[in-house]
Structure 1
Amino acid sequence: MAYAILYAPQPILPALATEFQSSTHTAALLTTAVMLPLAIAPLSYGFFLEKFPAKHGLIASCLIMASCHISFALITDISQAIIIRAIEGMTLPVMLTSIMTLLTRTTQKEKLQQTLSIFIALTIVGGLSGRTASILFTEYVSWRGTFIILAILSLLALKPLQTLPNHKPKHQQTIKSSHLIECLTHPTNRYLYPFILLQFFTMVAILNFIPFRILETFNQDSYWPVLLVYSFYIAAIGTALITIKMRKSFNHLQVYGGLSWLIICCIGLWCFSFNHILMYCLGFTLVCGAIFANHSIFSTEVNQNEEKYSGLANGTYLTFYYTGGTLGSILPSVWIEQTGWNTTLLYLTVCCMASAILLICYKRATTKHLLQQNHERF
């Protein structure tokens, strides 16, 4: 539900731009408005979750979300929509950080990859459901109906959330800003945080602007081609879940698996250079599948590397994740306008190459860290 809320407006940005007579850049701010708070807030919420049960944050956020959805369904101007999305952006980190923190606190270490892979698979289902619902309502009824449904779901979620256990962190010491610095400068995680920033930057760049590209390239008034391309987002579920078996079967999955998925992502970006709907479908499959596979691998890796402060680790991870999303909702629109679609795809490919360099640095740092630990032990 949280991810349906996050991504529901994304594929119908052209419809919102048309209805409220705004530019592509202004409509794209609906994504920026929700991503920017998501990039900033998880760090402070990470501190909060080291002191209080995550359950309370989930319940409060559902109440706020229900109010936001009803308000969004009644907007009469694009600026109102941007303000509401900004409020949602401040609330969603409570949901996402609380969920990840609850999962990591209640899962045994050996089952963490399985748990987080299932979690990520469900985020994909949520994102696809929100996008599909908004496209279908826009095509046949009104886009406003999507947000009425989301308001109802937010209220229905309150009862089951009240049954959640009050899991608190294992440690009892006061959390300080120095602990956050430790998370950011962790010998190995410091390479993973910018890695996931670049990965999500690439994916949001495609997700945010492909609806405009499809409608412009194929001169379509119908949203069915957009829905067709977005439906291939479902392939990411398979790649997220397959990482469970990959971790059991391959050593150094986080490096060699990550590099393999980066190559697949680059091939997917290349597919978008062909103005053919089937190539767009293939590109969407490869890019989303590859990036979510890496998301599954490295969200687990970050938690395994930082066992003590799970709330801070998850908050830091989400901060970098959505910082990439924020930048991905802004910069590509400038690139597309100034240099064109194909050059923008080239820039995104360079981001993947930079991600590969970070993975190589991570491998070296991990080896050095393990050798240092073994030396101190003996």
Structure 2
Amino acid sequence: MKKYDLFIIVYCIIIVLSVMYATQPLQPLLAKEFDVSITKASQFTAVIMLFLAISPIIYGYILEKVNAKKMLINSSIILFITNIFLGLASNYELFLLFRTIEALVIPAMLTSLMSILANIDKENIKFNMSIYVAATVFGGLLGRVFSGFIATNISYHWVFYSLSFAILISIYFVSKLSYEGEATIVKPKISDVTAILKDTRFSTVYLLMFCVFFVFAGVLNVLPFRLKEISTDISEFQISLLYLGYGMGILVSLNSKKIIKFFKSEVNTILAGLIFFSFITIFLTIPNVMTMFLLIFLFCLGMFTVHTVSTGLANSLKASQKSLTSGMYLTFYYLGGAIGSFVPSIIYEKFGWNSVIYMFCGILILIIILVLNKKRFYLH
């Protein structure tokens, strides 16, 4: 693969993920701006997660095959327009409408990018997929920090205008891509899906990732409101800096082989990551911004260890139907994220931060027991 092509794909992934997560540190500001509740403001992120969860099913039935480059350009144009309108939106309903339109095209873009990356250089597919994961993590990190910085120093409207400019550059780049192939989208059969779900190894990994991402998305989504509660004068930029811990995902995804080697097996690594993740979650009850900053680094380390190793495990369990098993993995993962971006904010509003954390710890203890119980199914 030409380095130029790889650069274009990585740039596009970073921009798409920046758009996806740009609203997260701004949620308290947007809640105030549109005079809405915490729960309503949380929907700006939750709506995209929801569409990422259901898109493999929807797109699988609408599009059998589609030109990946063409889909990427058309979706980017829509994203370019919606971001301008997000900057101009003067009320909650309009803002949510444009975020919902974005939620429809972002999965199509990520499907195209993944397809191009997997097919443009078939000899280095594993390495390319780790680049994909690292780029999504970096995009999520950059989007949050960048939006907090712009909102604090200029205004939140300029977060969306500047993202539109970045999308415009990506449209130009994509038109120069040398890849002209199709993005094959899986059309799942109900019988295939139920057969995979009946396999304990898959159902355990799917449930594990649903719960882990539910907790992870829940913490990161309610976090800006919690920080405003601890310190009323904290700026959007300072809030966004707490997401720097997200960068741990890049380190983990690029060193996953070494981590697995250290723990002797994938299932041991998942258990170690889970226990560590649960342990750190308990300490998030400490009402101190600096402590929170350090804990989020460790929190992300635990989550990305579980996620990276689980992705590899889910893809290695079955020789055939790889696209269906990985598609189902992403569905459970993002469904956990969508519900996690929404439900905890309701509990936080009614019962406070500590109740949310205790609920998360309860879920994580149950999932640790489940994985321990099913451990034998993974040891071959």
The residue that corresponds to 2:230 in the other structure is: 217
**Counterparts in 2 of 1:68 and 1:37: CA distance versus 1, 3 Å:** same
Pairing 1:50-129 to 2, within 5 Å after superposition = 51-104=65-118, 112=126, 114-129=127-142
**Structure 1 CA distance, aligned partners of 2:358 and 2:154?**
38
**Structure 2 CA distance, aligned partners of 1:47 and 1:56?**
19
Identity %: 30
The residue that corresponds to 1:375 in the other structure is: none
Letter in 1 for 2:43: L
The answer on whether the counterparts of 1:10 and 1:131 sit within 8 Å (CA) in structure 2 is yes
Superposition deviation, residue 132 in structure 1? 1.2
**Corresponding position: 1:327 with 2:365:** no
**Counterparts in 2 of 1:96 and 1:351: CA distance versus 1, 3 Å:** farther
The residue that corresponds to 2:212 in the other structure is: 199
Pairing 1:156-171 to 2, within 5 Å after superposition = 156-162=169-175, 163-167=177-181
The residue that corresponds to 2:8 in the other structure is: none
Deviations 1:234-289 (A, max 9, x none): 23322222213234565422x11111111221222122111112210122111122
The residue that corresponds to 2:250 in the other structure is: 237
Letter in 1 for 2:151: T
* TM-score (normalised: structure 1): 0.86
Superposition deviation, residue 208 in structure 1? 0.7
Match of 2:259 among 210, 227, 246: 246
Instruction: Supply the RMSD in Å over aligned alpha carbons.
Output: 2.8
**Structure 2 CA distance, aligned partners of 1:357 and 1:100?**
34
**Counterparts in 2 of 1:55 and 1:233: CA distance versus 1, 3 Å:** same
Q: Which runs of 5+ in 1 are unaligned?
A: 371-378
Query: How many pairs align?
Result: 365
**Corresponding position: 1:260 with 2:272:** yes
Deviations 1:266-314 (A, max 9, x none): 2221221111122101221111221122222222222223444344333
**Counterparts in 2 of 1:247 and 1:53: CA distance versus 1, 3 Å:** farther
Superposition deviation, residue 86 in structure 1? 1.2
Match of 1:304 among 313, 316, 321: 316
**Structure 2 CA distance, aligned partners of 1:6 and 1:246?**
29
Letter in 1 for 2:208: F
The answer on whether the counterparts of 1:97 and 1:315 sit within 8 Å (CA) in structure 2 is no
**Corresponding position: 1:228 with 2:228:** no
**Structure 2 CA distance, aligned partners of 1:118 and 1:233?**
16
Match of 1:289 among 262, 277, 301: 301
Match of 1:147 among 147, 152, 160: 160
Q: Which stretch of the first structure deviates more once superposed, 15-24 or 89-98? A: 89-98
* 1:275 counterpart SS class: coil
**Structure 2 CA distance, aligned partners of 1:132 and 1:330?**
22
The answer on whether the counterparts of 2:64 and 2:184 sit within 8 Å (CA) in structure 1 is no
The answer on whether the counterparts of 1:128 and 1:230 sit within 8 Å (CA) in structure 2 is yes
**Structure 2 CA distance, aligned partners of 1:126 and 1:203?**
17
**Structure 1 CA distance, aligned partners of 2:61 and 2:174?**
21
Deviations 1:67-119 (A, max 9, x none): 2111111101011111111111121111223333444556769962x443332
* 2:280 counterpart SS class: helix
The answer on whether the counterparts of 1:46 and 1:315 sit within 8 Å (CA) in structure 2 is no
Deviations 1:323-359 (A, max 9, x none): 1111112211222233321121111112222332343
**Corresponding position: 1:34 with 2:48:** yes
**Structure 2 CA distance, aligned partners of 1:109 and 1:364?**
33
**Structure 1 CA distance, aligned partners of 2:39 and 2:249?**
28
**Structure 1 CA distance, aligned partners of 2:363 and 2:274?**
10
Match of 2:375 among 363, 366, 369: 363
**Counterparts in 2 of 1:360 and 1:90: CA distance versus 1, 3 Å:** farther
The residue that corresponds to 2:7 in the other structure is: none
**Structure 2 CA distance, aligned partners of 1:143 and 1:110?**
40
Q: Which stretch of the first structure deviates more once superposed, 334-343 or 155-164? A: 155-164
**Corresponding position: 1:4 with 2:4:** no
* TM-score (normalised: structure 2): 0.86
Superposition deviation, residue 141 in structure 1? 0.6
Match of 1:350 among 344, 358, 362: 362
Letter in 2 for 1:364: R
The residue that corresponds to 1:374 in the other structure is: none
